[in-house]
Structure 1
Amino acid sequence: MVRPRWHLRSSVASNRLGHRWDQFVALWATFNLLWVCFDISYVPLRTFWLQRNLYPLPSAPLVLRLGFLPDITPLYDPVKGIEPHRETQAYLDAFDRMDRALLAGSPAGDLRERQVAMTRAMIDDNPFLASGNSGTLEKIKNRLRERADLDSAKQSAEKLLGDEWLKRQSWNEERRFWQQQVLPLVATNYWRSIDENGRPTDDFWRIDLLLFQSVFLADILLRAARLRRRLPGLSWGDALLRRWTDLPLLMPFWRWLRLIPVVERLQTSGLVNMEPLRAVVSRAVVALLAVELFEVLALQLMDGAQGVIRSPQWPERIRRLRSHQTVSINDERELVELTRIWGPLLLSQVGPRMAPQLQAVLAHALQQSLQSMVVPPGLRQLQLLMQVEKELTQQLAAGLVDSLMELSRGAGSRLQQQDNRQIDLLRDCVDRFWDELAEALEHGPVLERSQQLVCALLEELKLTYLGQINRTGIDALIRELDQLTVPPATPGDGDSETVARSEDQSR
Structure 2
Amino acid sequence: MIRPRWQGLNPSVGARGWRRWDQLIAVIAAANFGWVIFDISYIPLRNFWLQRNLYPIPSFALVIPLPWLPDLTPVYDPVKGIVPHRDTQNYLDQFHAMDQLIVENGLSTAEATEKLINQQRLTVELIETNPFLSSGNAGALEKLKNRLRSRANTDSAREAAVQLLSKPHLQASGWDAERQFWLQQILPLVEINYWRGIDESGQPTDLSWRIDTPFQLLFLLDIGLRTWRLKRRYPAIRWRDALLRRWIDLPLLLPVARWLRVIPVTERLSRAGLIQLEPLRAVISRGVVALLAMELFEVITVRVVDALQQLIRSPRLPQRIRGFCSYQGTDQNEDRELVELLRLWMPLLLSQVGPNMRPQLTALGEHLLFQSLNQTVIPEPLRGVAGIQQAESALSRQLAENLVDSLLGLSKGAGNQLERRDPALELLSNEAFNRFWEELARSLEQGPVLERSQELLASFLEDLKRSSFQQLRAQGDVDELIRELDGLSFSPPTGQPKRQA
Same fold, TM exceeding 0.5?
yes
Q: Deviations over 1:80-130 (max 9, x none)?
A: 001110110011011011111111214411111111111111111110001
Given the alignment of the two structures, is residue 19 of structure 1 paired with residue 23 of structure 2, yes or no? no
Distance 1:347 1:448 in 2: 40
- Aligned partner of 2:229 in structure 1 is 226
Q: Secondary structure at the match of 1:15?
A: helix
Q: Does the C-alpha gap of structure 1 residues 302 and 244 become closer, same or farther in structure 2, counting only changes over 3 Å?
A: same
* Higher relative contact order (CA closer than 8 Å, sequence separation 6+): 1
Distance 1:134 1:231 in 2: 61
Per-residue deviation, 1:418: 3.1
Per-residue deviation, 1:310: 1.1
Distance 1:123 1:187 in 2: 15
Distance 2:2 2:299 in 1: 29
Query: Is the Cα–Cα contact under 8 Å of residues 2 and 487 in structure 1 kept in the other structure?
Result: no
Q: Does the C-alpha gap of structure 1 residues 327 and 90 become closer, same or farther in structure 2, counting only changes over 3 Å?
A: farther
Q: Does the C-alpha gap of structure 1 residues 195 and 459 become closer, same or farther in structure 2, counting only changes over 3 Å?
A: same
Q: Does the C-alpha gap of structure 1 residues 18 and 27 become closer, same or farther in structure 2, counting only changes over 3 Å?
A: same
Per-residue deviation, 1:459: 2.3
Distance 1:302 1:52 in 2: 66
- Aligned partner of 1:186 in structure 2 is 190
Distance 1:12 1:118 in 2: 73
Per-residue deviation, 1:214: 1.0
Per-residue deviation, 1:32: 0.4
Query: Is the Cα–Cα contact under 8 Å of residues 107 and 171 in structure 2 kept in the other structure?
Result: no
Q: Deviations over 1:246-294 (max 9, x none)?
A: 1000000000110111011111111112111111122101110111111
Name stretches of at least 5 consecutive residues in structure 2 with no aligned partner. Answer: none
Per-residue deviation, 1:397: 10
Q: TM-score, normalised by structure 2?
A: 0.85
Q: Secondary structure at the match of 1:26?
A: helix
Q: Does the C-alpha gap of structure 1 residues 329 and 111 become closer, same or farther in structure 2, counting only changes over 3 Å?
A: farther
CA RMSD in angstroms comes to 3.5
Q: Deviations over 1:304-350 (max 9, x none)?
A: 11110111111111111223334548555344344434544665555
Query: Is the Cα–Cα contact under 8 Å of residues 336 and 426 in structure 1 kept in the other structure?
Result: no
Q: Does the C-alpha gap of structure 1 residues 38 and 172 become closer, same or farther in structure 2, counting only changes over 3 Å?
A: same
Distance 1:446 1:343 in 2: 34
Distance 1:216 1:163 in 2: 64
Distance 1:10 1:29 in 2: 30
Which among 166, 173, 176 is matched to residue 172 of structure 1?
A: 176
Q: Deviations over 1:345-399 (max 9, x none)?
A: 665555976577679889999999x99xxxxxxxx99999xx9xx99x9899998
Given the alignment of the two structures, is residue 213 of structure 1 paired with residue 216 of structure 2, yes or no? yes
- Aligned partner of 2:425 in structure 1 is 422
Which among 251, 254, 258 is matched to residue 254 of structure 2?
A: 251
Q: Does the C-alpha gap of structure 1 residues 133 and 146 become closer, same or farther in structure 2, counting only changes over 3 Å?
A: same
Query: Is the Cα–Cα contact under 8 Å of residues 107 and 167 in structure 2 kept in the other structure?
Result: no
Per-residue deviation, 1:450: 2.2
- Structure 2 counterparts to residues 154-165 of structure 1, below 5 A: 154-165=158-169
Distance 2:325 2:17 in 1: 67
Q: Does the C-alpha gap of structure 1 residues 280 and 396 become closer, same or farther in structure 2, counting only changes over 3 Å?
A: closer
Distance 1:240 1:53 in 2: 47
Per-residue deviation, 1:424: 3.0
Q: Secondary structure at the match of 1:333?
A: helix
- Aligned partner of 2:272 in structure 1 is 269
Identity %: 52
Name stretches of at least 5 consecutive residues in structure 1 with no aligned partner. Answer: 372-379, 500-507
Residues matched between the structures, number: 474
Per-residue deviation, 1:50: 0.4
- Aligned partner of 1:503 in structure 2 is none
Distance 2:451 2:414 in 1: 37
